[in-house]
Amino acid sequence: MPYDAILLDMDGLMIDTEQLCAQAWRDAASELGTRIGEDTLHQLVGLSHQHCLRHLQQHPELSTHMPALAQLNRQYYHQQLQHGDIPLKPGITALLDWLRQQAIPRAVGTATEGQLAQLKLQRSGLAPYFQHVVSASDVANSKPAPDIYLAAAARLQVAPQRCIVLEDSVHGASAALAANMRVIIVPDIVQPPASMAKQALAVCEDLFAARELLQQMRGA
């Protein structure tokens, strides 16, 4: 079925920040004399900061450190975002250029908080590609709930079933499917389970492959 709009996740899909976020959690835990396992870090991919805190709170070895852990994580992460490099994911510029040339409506749907999302888009140079950015600050429930993507579709005035979502995480893909949208998964840190892959329109190895699929569907 044709599509009328493309909705894109941000972290891990367009910009390579999931690794930066994971390292900020590692550094914060290390400063407090504890550690966060890699499996636990993988489970945080695609979640809002508040959802991450709730998830970490369930681990007894971390729960007593939570206020300080949260504060240190924000400190390390914001320092990197404000002063360090924010690398783009390969193929994102070519994809966004093609979407703009084809005049295909597009919006960002991110579990990141509003001000931080705008900072990332501005510093990465991607902000001019989008008229609409829906963040965790704009909805009652963040991913994996469908609210973010439903709000993005509403701002574009496009029916959910006419939207295709590009996502890297399982939580994000779940949000897209719950919104009755088709999803193309471009995995970053974590590969989707087989059950999720079957529900996706496609699982692409990179954004170049995702762009080719979208072009084929468009007949362009």
Long-range contacts of 207-210 (CB under 8 A, 24+ apart): 207/13, 207/89, 207/90, 207/91, 207/92, 207/94, 207/95, 207/166, 208/90, 208/91, 208/94, 210/91, 210/95, 210/166, 210/184, 210/186
Structure tokens at 169: 């995480």
pLDDT in tens, 125-170: 999 999 999 999 999 999 999 999 999 999 999 999 999 999 999 9
| Closest to 169 measured CA to CA, from 4, 33, 47, 50 | 47
- Please tell me the distance from the alpha carbon of residue 42 to that of residue 5, in angstroms, as a whole number: 29
Query: Which residues are designated catalytic?
Result: 9, 11
pLDDT at 81 over 90: no
Rounded to two decimals, the pTM is 0.80
